[in-house]
Amino acid sequence: MRGALRSRLHRAVDDYLKLRRTLGFKLFHETWWLPDFATFLKRHGSNCITTDLALEWAMLPTNVDQSWWGRRLGAVRQFAKHHRAVDPRTEIPSRDLIPFRTPRRVPYLYSQREVGALMRAATTLPQPILAASYATIIGLLAATGMRVSEALNLDDADIDDARGVIVVRGAKFNKTRELPVDATTLKALLAFIRRRNRLRVNNRSSSLFISTTGARVQYTNFGNTFRRLLRAVGIQHQPSPRIHDLRHSFAVNTLCNWYRSGVEVDPRMPLLSTYLGHVSPNTTYWYLKATPKLVGLAAKRLERAWEFRS
């Protein structure tokens, strides 16, 4: 942005975004919304945040859903809460303005058969290194429930075969955690590494999963291919299944296995939360879709509990 258009509020926005990133927040829309808002205020001759101007700016886009306006205003509200400590004149827009609630999308739960079909379809990709990488990524996501970005960010050094764990570094909120994995998962990863090393055309990256150029597999490229694989194996559903739903599937399958084995589920929820990289079990509960299978297992557990008490 040209210096003539910058203001004290622009510098405050820069400092705020830098602080949020330091705290581990993955910012996206805020990175251009808030500087644009600061420019809007300057053009209107205001050097402080007011509710009226925030509302006017939030509703600038036309032909959009009201939730989009609400998100824009929410970004300003969050910044205003922070900036008020510096400028007491700052007005914090009320939550009652442009109320909206983002509906929770019902996740698609992949079956083991569907995961297998997706992996087999990936092995038919014309580029051998992509075929090996993509098939292994899909299997790893299904077996561990890790985030896609976490899997793509893995390096060879993060696979600790001696201890049987995967080290996930720089995850959400910049946290690092270790994931114990099943012996079959570890064996599949080691087999992939051997195959990848035979196919590697150069050594540009220390990444576990690489593309045809030897660089790290990019999220966008993997996502586009994953959607093609869904169509290729006939997994069609509305709304369309997502890669992230593999994470939901892992959480639900883990819970079902606990119910089947007869263990106490509630005390184990913090373990599942830690494994998934969640801050608390409250976040994990959002991942658990009430499937007929899960409800049935929970009902049987409840019946046995009542029988025991009676």
Active-site residues: which are they?
147, 172, 244, 247, 278, 287
Q: In which element (H, E) is residue 306 found? A: helix 292-309
**CA 209 – CA 31 distance, rounded (Å):** 29
- Residue 216, helix vs strand vs coil: strand
Burial class of residue 103, CB neighbours in 10 A (0-12, 13-18, 19+): exposed
Q: What whole-number distance in Å separates Cα of residue 151 and Cα of residue 268?
A: 24
Other beta carbons within 10 angstroms of residue 275's beta carbon come to: 19
Rounded Cα distance between 11 and 18, Å, is: 11
Q: How far apart are the first and last CA of the chain?
A: 73
Are residues 123 and 135 in contact, defined by beta-carbon separation less than 8 angstroms? yes
Q: Are 254 and 293 in contact (CB under 8 A)?
A: no
